[in-house]
Amino acid sequence: RIFSSAVVAISTASLLLDSGSAFSSSSRRHHVRPSFALKAISASPESQLAQLASMTTLSIDSGDLKVIEDYAATGYITDATTNPLFVSQAGMSGDPTYLKLVEDAVKYALDQNLDEESETVSLAIDRLAVNLGFAISKIVKGYISTEVDPRLSFDTEASVERGERIIAMYEEMGVSKDRVLIKLAATWEGILAAEKLEAKGIQCNLTLIFGVVQAVACAQYNAHLISPFPGRVLDWHKMKEGRTEGVPPAEDEGVVAVQDMYNYFKTFDHDTICMPASWRPSRGAGYELDEILELAGTDRMTIPAPLLERLAASEEAVDRKLDVSTATYDGGEWGQGKLTEKEFRYLLNMDGCGTDKLAEGIRAFIGETLKLEAVILEKVRSMAPAAV
């Protein structure tokens, strides 16, 4: 676990200052390459970006290879995750770079001569994700996260098989498996899939984490990395309580949840990496960096380009808020060191935010996958050899 990281979630939601936001209705309205025009990236050694990078490994959340390249060149960004939907949509819009990724994926799947059309489409979707990851691997030096079909979120064995297939394709292309993280939803079945994959030397990124019970179970079952979403946790509490006013960052429920996850890992010697994603302004508009700065010192973060730009432009002091040397967790080990399925399901059920947001996230990811599947199916049929 020596890589410094810059995670790139390929999604139009990058423009909404929200990583992991396939949930956003805006992300579903845009079906072309992002038009966010970056200026030349400049960050002084005194910038908040530099200060934050000195205590937390920073990641970029962007769907544009040029944006990734520009930020990687600053020396502060080095990892990437991928979401093939955005690239597929961009490819359909006619951008030759992304169109080639889509067509190469479909050709690869067709060349396997699979029995069922649905199998060809499924393989093409996975290959597209790998093609994109391969392209990004030539820009960044660290991890590439590639997700398993979210429709498999409740099928452990199918998730393991899909993760192994993704890794095999990366290795065919010359990308070592120690650079790839298989991305899975943090359901009970996803957590068990991660445990099986990790035992085979395949590292995993457990996502859609909204509650401490999910994070604890991921760590107890040896997941390499988790992606909790503090911004989405804050959203849930604001809606539930009908709050219209902001709160101090230290009282932000999403911040508190991630702090608990980090402190639990360090207190009980878990190696699992805590990498929050999805950001909101705790105090409201104009304070977009609140959650980021309140979690300074966590293992890693993934941050979209507009927020990285704000960090680069500011030279206000960044104080470390999380530190392994001072981490303490108030309470004992959950499940006496390893939660059972019954304990996990009960505790998650009792966590309204975790239950609601996990279900919402999976539904949203499945909805986006169905859109991608329709695009790829059309491409498969148009590129398939004519029957003799």
- What span, in angstroms and rounded, lies between the C-alpha atoms of 183 and 147? 4
CA of 270: how far to CAs of 81, 219, 337, in Å?
23, 6, 11
Q: How many residues does the chain have?
A: 388
Sequential DSSP letters for 323-337: -TTT---SS--GGGG
Active site residue 183: yes
- What span, in angstroms and rounded, lies between the C-alpha atoms of 52 and 140? 19
Q: Determine contact, residues 360/90, Cβ cutoff 8 Å.
A: no
Catalytic residue among 183, 266, 357, 379: 183
Q: Which two tokens stand for residue 131?
A: 């093609």
Residue 381 neighbours by CB distance under 10 Å: 12
Q: Where are the beta strands (DSSP E) in the chain?
A: 57-61, 80-82, 144-147, 180-185, 203-209, 225-228, 273-274, 300-304
Q: Determine contact, residues 270/220, Cβ cutoff 8 Å.
A: yes
Contacts 24+ apart (CB under 8 A), 332-341: 333/268, 334/213, 334/216, 334/217, 334/220, 334/264, 335/216, 335/220, 337/220, 337/268, 338/220, 338/221, 339/213, 339/216, 339/217, 339/220, 341/188
Chain centroid offset of residue 123 CA? 21
CA of 332: how far to CAs of 260, 265, 268, in Å?
12, 12, 9
Consecutive H or E run containing 70? helix 65-72
Tokens 């304990």, located at residue: 343
Active site residues: 183
